[in-house]
Amino acid sequence: MCVASCSRCVGVSLVPLALLCILANSLLFFPWLEGRYLLEGHVTREATYGTGLWASGFLVLVGARRFIIGSSKTGCCGFRTEMLFQVGSSCVALTAAALCCLVSASALVNGPLCLHNSTQGQAWVAPFRRTSSQDPVYLYDPALWASACEEPRSAVLWHVVLFTVLAASSGLQALLCAAHTLNSMCGVVFGRGFRRNKVSPVSV
């Protein structure tokens, strides 16, 4: 098992996931690429947290860069020291990715912020937010999506697709960072890599 190769592989895998999170969170600011909703403050609360930008985006990219560059560190002590630092970097990236995943999951449960036509008139609310555990989950009833929001256009679909991408990508990031934490610990203990001992035949 080569610790350095695993570290590099995890780092390379995290880069496209981080870029995907940045793109998804950026699009959530501009429903159907219209900027007026952001200027008017009519953007879903979880999107404004920007966890896809700074958590699963920037922090994970910083960690991925360290994983890739640090895997080429030479020298026994130098490599073990680098792996020790990577344990810390992995924990930070893991926490950031897990936070983004939790926020995205919460956004999926609460539903989008949109102009809803209720009995009291039109208002910017989250029409699918559950007030009790007995309330139905809108995700299981797509027939309600089209009639719930007047603006933005297809707000529920935009919300569900992008937050699903965020939740899935950040969840995968968290798993990769957790695996890399264990890999880095192995690097601290065993060094660059360890292999099975080969038994050579005894000559008579």
DSSP collapsed to 3 states, the chain: CEHHHHHHHHHHHHHHHHHHHHHHHHHHCCHHHCCHHHHCCCCCHHHHCCHHHHHHHHHHHHHHHHHHHHCCCCCHHHHHHHHHHHHHHHHHHHHHHHHHHHHHHHHHHHCCCEEEEECCEEEEECCCCCCCCCCCCHHHCHHHHHHHCCECCCHHHHHHHHHHHHHHHHHHHHHHHHHHHHHHHHHHHHCCECCCCCCCCCCC
Is 32 among the domain residues?
Answer: yes
Taking CA atoms, 77 is separated from 92, 149, 192, in Å, by 23, 60, 10
How many structural domains does the chain have? 1
- For residue range 25-81, list pLDDT tens digits in order: 999 999 989 999 999 999 999 999 999 999 999 999 999 999 999 877 777 788 888
Is 132 among the domain residues?
Answer: no
Q: Which pLDDT belongs to residue 133?
A: 78
Residue range(s) defining the domain that contains residue 43: 3-111+161-190
Q: Which pLDDT belongs to residue 71?
A: 75
Is 61 among the domain residues?
Answer: yes
Q: Which pLDDT belongs to residue 73?
A: 73
Is 146 among the domain residues?
Answer: no
Is 154 among the domain residues?
Answer: no
Is 77 among the domain residues?
Answer: yes
- The stretches in the chain having pLDDT less than 70 are 1, 193-204
pTM over 0.95: no
Q: Which pLDDT belongs to residue 120?
A: 82
Is 67 among the domain residues?
Answer: yes
Instruction: Give strand pairing partners of 193.
Output: 2
Q: Which pLDDT belongs to residue 198?
A: 44
Is 33 among the domain residues?
Answer: yes
Q: Which pLDDT belongs to residue 101?
A: 98
